[in-house]
A and B are shown apart, each in its own frame.
Chain A
Amino acid sequence: MASIFANLQYSILLRFVLLCIVAALLSWSFQYLLISDTLYYNAFANQLSYERIKNMIDEGHHWIWLGNIFIPIIYGIKLTFITICLGLGYFFAKSRFNFSIFFNLAIFSELIFLLPILIKLLWFLFIKTDYDLNDLTLFYPLSLLNLVDAQTIPRYWLAPLQMLNLFEIAYWFLLAYGVADATGLSFKRSFGLVMSSYGVGLVLWVVLVMFLTITYS
Chain B
Amino acid sequence: MQMRRVLKIGLFLLVAGLIGGAIVKMNQTLSVKQEQAAKRQKRPDLSPIQFTKPTNPAQDMIDGKPTLIILFDPDCEHCQYEAEQLQTHHQAFAKASVYLLTTQTPARAQAFSLHYGLDTLAMMHVGTLTREESYRAFGATSVPHIFIYGSDGQLRKEYKGETMIEALLNAL
Chain A positions within 8 Å of B, measured between CB atoms, are 46-49, 52, 88, 91-92, 95, 156, 200, 203-204, 207-208, 210-211, 214-216
Contact = CB atoms under 8 A, between A and B. Distances in A.
Contact of B164 (A48, A92, A95, A216): A48
B13 interface: no
A207 B18 CA distance: 9
Interface of B: 4, 7-8, 11, 15, 18-19, 22-23, 25-26, 29-30, 33, 81, 140, 159, 161-164, 166-167
B79 to A, nearest CB: 13
Nearest to A48: B164
Given A47-B159, A88-B11, A92-B8, A214 B19 contact: no
A207 B23 contact: yes
Contacts of B164: 47-49, 52
Contacts of B29: 214-215
A52 B166 CA distance: 13
A200 B11 CA distance: 11
Give the secondary structure class of B's interface: helix
Given A92-B4, A200-B15, A204-B19, A48 B26 contact: no
Given A47-B163, A52-B162, A207 B81 contact: no
Nearest to B19: A207
A118 B67 CA distance: 48
B32 to A, nearest CB: 10
B25 A211 contact: yes
A209 B92 CA distance: 43
B18 A47 contact: no
Nearest to B142: A216
A215 to B, nearest CB: 6
Contact of A52 (B15, B19, B26, B81): B81
Nearest to B30: A214
Given A49-B164, A207-B22, 5 more contacts: A47-B159, A92-B4, A92-B8, A204-B15, A214-B33
Contacts of B11: 88
A95 B161 contact: no
B15 A214 contact: no
B145 to A, nearest CB: 12
Contacts of A203: 19
Nearest to A50: B164
A211 B18 CA distance: 11
A95 B4 contact: yes
Contacts of A210: 22, 26
A214 B24 CA distance: 12
B75 to A, nearest CB: 18
A47 B22 CA distance: 35
Contacts of A156: 26
Contacts of A211: 22, 25-26
Contacts of B18: 204, 207
Contacts of B7: 92
Contacts of B25: 211
B162 A48 contact: yes
A40 to B, nearest CB: 14
